[in-house]
Chains A and B, each alone.
Chain A
Amino acid sequence: GAVVSQHPSRVICKSGTSVKIECRSLDFQATTMFWYRQFPKQSLMLMATSNEGSKATYEQGVEKDKFLINHASLTLSTLTVTSAHPEDSSFYICSARVGAAEQYFGPGTRLTVT
């Protein structure tokens, strides 16, 4: 099946700093990638849809200036959490769409803001 990687798998940062998370499709090209966050024992919450070469589409309530998304190539999308605060601590997961519907997920990135 299609493989999606994320880096880093875990990151700890201090409050006020920025953190970048990378999402790569390893064996296919993805024109559309998605970014989710997941709190403990909850479902995945879609943050934004990222299309290669264009601006990301953010879900209602997600601050676009805080969560910067760049989809510079067909195999790489990045999420930058700017001026991170403890409440941004979460599990961030990306996915890449294959064809019209199937999505394959990365392994996730655990962000802890101290």
Chain B
Amino acid sequence: GENVEQHPSTLSVQEGDSAVIKCTYSDSASNYFPWYKQELGKGPQLIIDIRSNVGEKKDQRIAVTLNKTAKHFSLHITETQPEDSAVYFCAASKRDDKIIFGKGTRLHILP
């Protein structure tokens, strides 16, 4: 079955700098790659997603890139702000199938 690896597990960046979180997946049939942000005591919130027919997607300060050949995808957050501090999960799935999550990255934005 699908396996999603996520790195790093913890990331600290200075406010205003960029943050990058990387994930790899094992099943070449996976075609949907969402990213979730989870704040303490809350459910995950979908922040951006990308499908396998697209190499890059951007939404304001957030961008995701996908390399299907290498089975890598990454989340990029630019101009980080204190409210970006949270746990971020990458995930992968196939159509009509369950989502497989990475282990999460705890992002700390330093003042």
Contacts and interface: CB of A to CB of B under 8 A. Distances in A.
B44 A105 contact: yes
Interface in B63-111: 89, 93, 95-96, 98-99, 101-104
B39 to A, nearest CB: 10
Range for the number of chain B residues in contact with chain A: 20 to 34
A46 interface: yes
Given A46-B98, A100-B96, A106 B49 contact: no
Interface in A1-60: 1, 4, 6, 34, 42-44, 46, 49
A81 interface: no
A110 interface: yes
Nearest to A9: B41
Q: Is the interface of A mostly helix, strand, loop or mixed?
A: strand
Range for the number of chain A residues in contact with chain B: 20 to 34
B96 A108 contact: no
A41 to B, nearest CB: 8
Most B CB atoms within 10 A — which of A100, A101, A102, A105? A101
Interface of B: 32, 34, 36, 41-46, 49, 51, 89, 93, 95-96, 98-99, 101-104
Contacts of B42: 107-108
Nearest to A107: B43
A103 interface: yes
Contacts of A34: 98-99
Given A43-B101, A44-B101, A102-B34, A108 B41 contact: yes
